[in-house]
Amino acid sequence: MPENPGAPFPPQHTPHQPRKKKGFSFKVQMILLAASLVVAIGGFAVIITLNNIAGPEKQAKTLSEGDCVVLTGSGEEADAVPTGCDSPQAPYTVGLIGVDKGEWSCDNRFYKYAVPTPLRGEGVGLCLAINAQVGLCFDDVATKTPPPLKDCGSARLKISEVFPRTSVEESLCADDSVEVISYVGNETSKFKSATICFVTP
């Protein structure tokens, strides 16, 4: 028999259980996921909108020295499109390519041409040479800007001969030549030396 039958039981101490951290409810998680998707879609839409405003990428950005080109558009729509050098519609060759930034100029007998790239960074600066192809016709090749191709029936100048080297003197061209352009090529690019002889069509 216990000595103190009426004595109370000693107090029982229950170990303290740490409170579990409540995570986000399923409903809250879905709201956060939806908000993230809205932000992502919104950012993507902004990128697409800016690209649409900027217009298509200019082909001038793909050019290399020595490529032949056709010029298209004007102002902010101007571009230089690569074309086969044997094409009768390709009047120019890229002599030098750089960035259209600040003041810049081209050497004598090269033609300055700028291709702006609005909202896409700095534009493209080109120094263009006459494409050394017999049969092309122009009115005036002594300009600072690219002279347009002309119909040979009404043009003042026609390429009659082309020599794949530079000529300090005009002795390479025939006596009936009325204009001579000579370019010094770049050994590190596709732009090659050439002497171009013009006659009256």
Model confidence pLDDT, tens digit, residues 75-84: 889 999 999 9
Among 56, 72, 99, identify where a domain stops: 56
Q: Which residue range forms the structural domain that includes residue 31?
A: 27-56
Q: What end-to-end distance do the CA atoms of the chain give, in Å?
A: 139
In a domain, 80, yes or no: yes
Check whether residue 163 and residue 177 sit in a common domain.
yes
- Is residue 183 within 8 A of residue 201, CB to CB? The reply is no
Check whether residue 49 and residue 89 sit in a common domain.
no
Check whether residue 123 and residue 146 sit in a common domain.
yes
Q: What pLDDT score was predicted for residue 103?
A: 84
Check whether residue 130 and residue 111 sit in a common domain.
yes
pTM over 0.75: no
pLDDT tens-digit map of 103-113:
889 998 999 99
Distances (CA, A) of 144 to 106, 107, 128: 9, 10, 10
Check whether residue 82 and residue 148 sit in a common domain.
yes
Percent of the chain at pLDDT > 90 equals 57
Number of domains in the chain: 2
Check whether residue 34 and residue 71 sit in a common domain.
no
pLDDT tens-digit map of 8-43:
545 555 555 555 555 556 666 666 666 666 554 544
How far is it, in rounded angstroms, from Cα 70 to Cα 24?
62
Check whether residue 51 and residue 144 sit in a common domain.
no
> Average pLDDT of 141-145?
93
Q: What pLDDT score was predicted for residue 138?
A: 98
Check whether residue 104 and residue 161 sit in a common domain.
yes
Number of Cβ atoms within 10 Å of the Cβ of 83? 16
Check whether residue 91 and residue 178 sit in a common domain.
yes
pLDDT tens-digit map of 147-197:
999 999 999 999 999 999 987 665 789 999 999 999 999 888 899 999 999
Average pLDDT, the chain: 81
Check whether residue 145 and residue 194 sit in a common domain.
yes
Check whether residue 110 and residue 185 sit in a common domain.
yes
pLDDT tens-digit map of 113-138:
999 987 757 899 999 999 999 999 99
